[in-house]
C-alpha cells in the first residue's frame, strides 16, 4: 500500500533526524524534537491502521516518541533510550533496568515501558544504528567485561551505569571530555525563577 | 557566522540592528539625502560582539552564540539601548556616541604618560575638543541563568521598565534594572515530560496595555494573558484558535500549524501570526477564527514531504506590520518575500537578489506558477531554491522602508510613491 510505504519512509527519515539532532550544536531543541515525535506518531498510526497490530515495530517508534519528549536538557538519556528500544529483546532485559533507574525518570515510567515484545528491529530503520554502539553489542554477547580503566569511546564500563555514548561534537575537540559524563545532573539546573 | 538571525528597526526608524549567527550585532544608521531625490541610505553605525559561545558544564552542552532576537528600548536620553538574546542569556547594551574628548590634563601628557609633578607650575582646566565620531557599545546588564530551555522571544513592555523573555516552556518577567531576579509568569511544563504536547513558540507584550501579553504555541493557538488577574498566568484570558480544516489533514498538519511568529499591530487592536504556509490576522475581540488569512506559498502544500526531508518545514518565518497597519509582510523561499495589502486586498511577491537589480531600480513583481504551463518570467515550483530563504524582515515604523534579510545579506528597499 502506498500510504503504508510512505508512512514507513517518513518514520525512517524521522528517526535519522532524531539521531542527527543529538549532535547538533546548542543542544537538543525541544520544539523540533516534539514536532518530529508528532510526525512519527502520525506515521505510526497510519502504518498500524493499514497493517495488523502483530507487527514487530509495535513498540519501538512509540518509545522514541515518548522518551524523546524529555530530551530538552538530557540528550544523553534520549540517545541511550533510543538505542535501547531499537535493539532486540535480549538487550532489553539486561540494560533496561539500569536505564530506568536514572534519577530523572518518574516512577510511572517503569510500568509504561513495554518490554520484550520487540525481538527484531524493524527493517526500515537505518542500519548504521547498529554500528554506532559496538560497545553495547559486545557487552550483550560477552560476559561482563573486567573493569576497564579510562577507555574512551562507547565505554563498556559505563554501560552498566547509564547508556551514555560518546558522540564527538563536530569540530569542537575530541570525545575525551564527554566520557566523564556518566549521568546528567539530577533534574534541571535550578534557577531562581524556579524557587 | 555571517548568517543573519534577526533584524529590527528602532522606534524612530533611524537605526536598524541586525544580529547574526556568530553573536555579532551590526547597527545601521539612516542618512537622508533630500537632494536630488528623497532617499535614505543605511550605513554601518556600530558593530560589536554581543554574545560568545559558552559551555554548560553541568549538562555538557554548548550554548550557541547566535542572536535570536534584538529589541530596542524607547529612547530616553542621548544613548540608545537594546536587548539582545541568545539561547540562554539576555544582555542590555548601551550604544552611545562620543564626539569630544578632553584635553589639557594637569598630570598627564597628551599621549597618556604621567608628568613629573615637580615640573607642574600652573593649573588649568581641561577642555573638551571635537574628535571623530566614535560609537561605543557597552553591556550594561546581563540577565542570565533564568531559562532552562532555549529562549525564542523577548519583548519590552510599554511601561518601559519591564520586559519578558520566553523559552519553550516558560515565560519570565524581568525588570530592566534587576539582573539577579526574574518572575516566572507562564509555565506550561507538565509534571511528566512524557505528556508534553505543545511548546511556546513566541511571546509579545501588548503595545499599549502593560498588563497584557500573548504567547503562541506549536499547536497553532495563541493565548492572551492579563497579569492583573494573577501572578502566574498559566490560565489564559483569551484563547485564539481556528478549527483545523479536516480536508487538509496530512502527516505534517501539526508541523505546519505551529506558529513561528506573533506580532501585535501598532494600534493594538489586532495581532498577526505566521505559520508555515500562511499569515493570519486576528481581532483581539474574536477568538474563534482569524479575520484575515493570507496564503504565503500555497504551492508548497503538495511538497510537504520533501520539505520535511530537507528540513525546510522547520523553518521559522517572521512577519511584520507596516507603520499604519495597512500592509503586512513576510518571507518565503527563493529569496522571495510577500506583502499583503489588507485594505486593497492585493498582494505582491518580490525578490531580494543582486542579480538583475541595480540600485534604485524598481523591483519587479515575481510569480510562481503551479500548473504545467509556465509563462515568461514565472518560476516553476520545482526550480525554487529552498536554500535561499527569507526568514527575517522588518518595516520602518513610519516610512515605507523595509529591511529584508537573506541568508548572508541585508537588503533595504524604499518605496518612492507617496
**Contact call for residues B48 and B74 (beta carbons, < 8 A):** no
Question: What mean pLDDT do residues A176-184 have?
Answer: 35
- pLDDT value for B228: 94
Do the domain assignments include residue A128?
no
pLDDT higher than threshold 90 for residue A191: no
The whole-number average pLDDT for the span B370-381 is 76
Question: Are A40 and A14 a contacting pair, CB within 8 Å?
Answer: yes
Would you say residue A110 lies in a domain?
A: no
Which chain B residues are Cβ-neighbours of A25 within 8 angstroms?
A: 62, 64
The CA R_g of chain A, rounded to the nearest whole Å, is 17
pLDDT for residue A184 is more than 80:
no
Q: Which of A39, A76, A181 sits opposite B252 (nearest CB)?
A: A39
Is residue B397 within 8 Å of B11, Cβ to Cβ? yes
Put residue B209 in one of left, alpha, beta given phi > 0 → left and psi -120 to 50 → alpha: beta
Does residue B166 carry a pLDDT above 80? yes
Q: Give B77's pLDDT tier (boundaries 50, 70, 90).
A: very high
Query: Confidence band (pLDDT; 50, 70, 90) for A94?
Result: very low
Distance from CA of A85 to the nearest CA of B (A): 16
Quick check: B311 and A188 CB within 8 A? no
Residue tagged 523577548 (cell numbers): B154
Task: Give pLDDT, residue A45.
Answer: 85
Q: Which residue has the cell 527575517?
A: B392
Our count of domains for chain A comes to 1
The per-residue pLDDT for B121 is 86
Give how far A72 is from chain B: nearest CA, Å. Answer: 7
Q: Nearest-CA residue of chain B relative to A189?
A: B148
Q: How far is A82 from chain B (nearest CA, A)?
A: 15
Distance from CA of A88 to the nearest CA of B (A): 23
For residue A26, the enclosing domain spans 1-50
Question: Do the domain assignments include residue A72?
Answer: no
Residues of B in contact with A30 (CB under 8 A): 149-150, 168-169, 196, 199
Residue B113 has pLDDT above 80, yes or no: yes
Q: For chain B, what is the mean pLDDT?
A: 92
Q: Which one of B67, B148, B311 makes the best mutation probe of the A interface by having the most chain A beta carbons within 10 Å?
A: B148
Would you say A72 and B148 are in contact if contact means Cβ atoms under 8 Å apart?
A: yes
In the predicted structure, residue A165 carries a pLDDT above the cut 90: no
Output B145 or A170, whichever has higher pLDDT.
Answer: B145
Flag whether pLDDT at B17 surpasses 80. yes
pLDDT of residue B35: 66
- What per-residue string of b and e applies to B22-35 under the rule 16 or more CB within 10 Å gives b? bbbbbbbebeeeee
Residue B87 has pLDDT above 50, yes or no: yes
Flag whether pLDDT at B76 surpasses 70.
yes
Q: How far is CA B270 from CA B205, B273, B290, B345, in A?
A: 13, 10, 10, 17
> Could B251 and A29 be called an inter-chain contact, meaning their C-beta atoms sit closer than 8 Å?
no
Q: What is the pLDDT of residues B257-283, one digit of tens each?
A: 999 999 999 999 999 999 999 999 999
CA distance linking residue A79 with residue A138, whole number of Å: 18
* Minimal CA separation from B196 to chain A, in Å: 7
Contact B199 A193 (CB under 8 A): no
Measure Cα distances from B15 to B68, B394, B396 in Å: 18, 12, 9
Q: What is the pTM of this model?
A: 0.75
Give yes or no for a contact between A99 and A84, defined as CB atoms under 8 angstroms apart. yes
Contact state of A72 with B309 under an 8 Å Cβ cutoff = no
pLDDT of B297 = 93
How many CB contacts within 8 angstroms connect chain A with chain B? 115
- Identify whether the C-beta of residue B243 lies closer than 8 Å to the C-beta of residue B222: no
The pLDDT, as a whole number, for residue B37 is 66
pLDDT confidence band for A60 (50 / 70 / 90):
very low
- Domain assignment present for residue A68? The answer is no
Answer whether residue B227 shows pLDDT above 60.
yes
B116: pLDDT confidence band, cut at 50, 70 and 90? confident
Who wins on pLDDT, B16 or A51? Answer: B16
Cβ of B193 within 8 Å of Cβ of A46? The answer is no
Q: Tell me, yes or no, if A195 comes closer than 8 A to chain B by beta carbon.
A: no
Q: In 3-state terms, what secondary structure has residue A41?
A: helix
Q: Residue B67, Cα to own-chain centre: how many angstroms?
A: 10
Q: For residue A156, is pLDDT > 70?
A: no
Contact assignment for B218 to A35 by CB distance below 8 Å: yes
Give the mean pLDDT of B149-168. 97
C-alpha cell at B216: 503562541
Most confidently modeled range among A161-170, B36-45, B66-75, B364-373: B66-75
Sort A85 into a burial class: Cβ within 10 Å, 0-12 / 13-18 / 19+.
buried
To the nearest whole Å, the CA of B305 is away from the closest chain A CA by 8
What strands, in cross-sheet order, belong to the sheet with B162-166? Answer: B153-156, B162-166, B170-175, B178-187
Q: What is the DSSP letter of B209?
A: -
Angstrom distance (rounded) from CA A89 to CA B1: 45
Q: Which comes out higher in pLDDT, residue B357 or B407?
A: B407
Summarize pLDDT for B286-300 with one digit per residue, the tens. Answer: 999 999 999 999 999
Most confident of A18-22, A75-79, A107-111: A18-22
Domain membership of residue A28 (yes or no) is yes
Say what the pLDDT of residue B359 is: 72
DSSP result, A72-113: SS-HHHHHHHHHHHHS-HHHHHHHHHHHHT-TTS-THHHHH-
Is residue A144 within 8 A of residue A98, CB to CB? The reply is: no
What is the Cα Rg of chain B in Å?
24
pLDDT for B385-407, tens place per residue? 999 999 999 999 999 999 999 99
Which is higher by pLDDT, A6 or B311? B311
pLDDT of A73 > 80? The answer is no
B245 versus B375: the higher-pLDDT residue is: B245
Residue B301 has pLDDT above 80, yes or no: yes
Could B201 and A31 be called an inter-chain contact, meaning their C-beta atoms sit closer than 8 Å? yes
Residue A24 resides in a domain: yes
Ordered strands of the B39-49 beta sheet: B4-9, B15-20, B24-33, B39-49
Grid cell locating B341: 495589502
Range B119-128, long-range pairs (CB < 8 A, 24+ positions): B126/B102, B127/B102, B127/B103, B128/B100, B128/B101, B128/B102, B128/B103
Mutation choice for B interface testing from A10, A26, A44, A66 by most B CBs within 10 A:
A26
The answer to whether residue A82 is domain-embedded is no
C-beta atoms of A193 and B182 within 8 A: yes
Choice between B393 and B120, residue whose per-residue pLDDT is larger: B393
Cα distance between residue A19 and residue A26, in whole Å? 15
Kindly determine whether residue B60 and residue A29, on different chains, have CB atoms separated by under 8 Å.
no
Looking at residues B126-153, what average pLDDT do you find? 94
User: Residue B274 burial (CB < 10 Å; 0-12/13-18/19+)?
Assistant: buried
A4: in domain: yes
Q: Which residue of chain B comes nearest to A66, CA vs CA? A: B194
Amino acid at each position: 500500500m502506498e500510504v503504508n510505504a510512505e508512512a514507513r519512509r517518513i518514520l525512517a527519515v524521522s528517526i535519522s533526524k532524531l539521531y542527527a539532532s543529538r549532535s547538533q550544536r546548542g543542544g537538543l531543541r525541544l520544539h523540533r524534537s516534539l514536532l518530529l515525535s508528532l510526525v512519527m506518531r502520525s506515521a505510526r498510526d497510519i502504518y498500524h491502521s493499514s497493517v495488523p497490530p502483530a507487527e514487530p515495530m509495535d513498540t519501538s517508534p512509540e518509545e522514541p516518541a515518548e522518551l524523546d519528549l524529555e530530551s530538552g536538557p538530557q540528550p544523553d538519556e534520549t540517545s541511550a533510550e533510543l538505542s535501547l528500544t531499537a535493539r532486540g529483546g535480549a538487550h532489553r532485559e539486561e540494560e533496561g533496568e539500569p536505564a530506568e533507574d536514572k534519577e530523572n525518570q518518574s516512577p510511572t515510567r517503569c510500568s509504561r515501558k513495554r518490554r520484550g515484545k520487540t525481538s527484531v528491529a524493524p527493517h526500515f530503520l537505518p542500519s548504521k544504528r547498529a554500528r554506532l554502539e559496538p560497545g553495547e553489542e559486545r557487552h550483550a554477547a560477552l560476559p561482563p567485561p573486567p573493569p576497564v580503566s579510562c577507555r574512551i569511546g562507547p565505554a563498556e564500563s559505563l554501560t552498566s551505569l547509564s547508556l551514555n555514548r560518546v558522540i564527538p561534537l563536530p569540530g569542537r575537540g575530541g570525545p575525551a571530555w564527554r566520557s566523564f559524563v556518566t549521568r546528567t545532573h539530577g533534574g534541571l539546573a535550578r534557577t531562581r525563577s524556579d524557587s | 557566522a555571517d548568517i543573519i538571525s534577526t533584524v529590527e528597526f528602532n522606534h524612530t526608524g533611524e537605526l536598524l540592528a541586525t544580529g547574526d549567527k556568530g553573536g555579532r550585532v551590526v547597527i545601521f544608521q539612516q542618512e537622508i539625502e533630500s537632494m536630488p531625490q528623497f532617499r535614505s541610505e543605511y550605513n554601518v553605525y556600530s558593530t560589536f560582539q554581543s554574545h560568545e559561545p559558552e559551555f554548560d558544564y553541568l549538562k555538557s552542552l554548548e550554548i550557541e552564540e547566535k542572536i535570536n532576537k534584538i529589541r530596542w528600548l524607547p529612547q530616553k536620553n542621548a544613548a540608545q539601548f537594546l536587548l539582545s538574546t541568545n539561547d540562554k542569556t539576555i544582555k542590555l547594551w548601551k550604544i552611545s556616541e562620543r564626539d569630544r574628548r578632553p584635553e589639557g590634563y594637569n598630570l598627564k601628557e597628551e599621549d597618556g604618560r604621567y608628568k613629573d609633578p615637580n615640573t607642574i607650575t600652573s593649573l588649568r582646566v581641561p577642555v573638551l575638543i571635537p574628535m571623530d565620531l566614535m560609537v561605543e557599545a557597552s553591556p550594561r546588564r546581563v540577565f542570565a541563568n533564568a531559562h532552562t530551555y532555549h529562549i525564542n522571544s523577548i519583548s519590552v513592555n510599554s511601561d518601559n521598565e519591564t520586559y519578558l523573555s520566553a523559552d519553550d516552556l516558560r515565560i519570565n518577567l524581568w525588570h530592566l534594572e534587576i539582573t539577579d531576579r526574574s518572575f516566572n509568569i507562564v509555565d506550561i511544563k507538565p509534571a511528566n515530560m512524557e505528556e508534553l504536547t505543545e511548546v511556546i513558540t513566541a511571546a509579545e507584550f501588548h503595545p499599549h496595555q502593560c498588563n497584557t501579553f500573548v504567547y503562541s504555541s506549536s499547536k497553532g493557538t495563541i493565548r492572551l494573558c492579563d497579569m492583573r488577574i494573577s501572578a502566574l498566568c498559566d490560565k489564559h484570558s483569551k484563547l485564539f484558535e481556528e478549527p483545523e480544516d479536516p480536508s487538509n489533514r496530512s502527516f505534517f498538519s501539526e508541523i505546519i500549524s505551529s506558529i513561528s511568529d506573533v506580532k501585535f499591530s501598532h494600534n493594538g487592536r489586532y495581532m498577526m501570526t505566521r505559520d508555515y504556509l500562511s499569515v493570519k490576522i486576528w481581532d483581539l475581540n474574536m477568538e474563534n477564527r482569524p479575520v484575515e488569512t493570507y496564503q504565503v506559498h500555497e504551492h508548497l502544500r503538495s511538497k510537504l514531504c520533501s520539505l520535511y526531508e530537507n528540513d525546510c518545514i522547520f523553518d521559522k518565518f517572521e512577519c511584520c506590520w507596516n507603520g499604519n497597519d495597512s500592509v503586512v509582510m513576510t518571507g518565503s523561499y527563493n529569496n522571495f518575500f510577500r506583502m499583503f495589502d489588507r485594505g486593497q486586498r492585493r498582494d505582491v511577491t518580490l525578490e531580494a537578489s543582486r542579480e538583475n537589480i541595480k540600485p534604485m531600480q524598481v523591483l519587479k513583481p515575481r510569480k510562481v506558477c503551479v500548473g504545467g504551463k509556465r509563462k515568461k518570467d514565472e518560476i516553476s515550483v520545482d526550480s525554487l531554491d529552498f536554500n535561499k530563504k527569507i526568514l527575517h524582515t522588518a518595516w520602518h515604523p513610519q516610512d515605507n522602508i523595509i529591511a529584508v534579510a537573506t541568508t548572508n545579506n541585508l537588503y533595504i528597499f524604499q518605496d518612492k510613491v507617496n
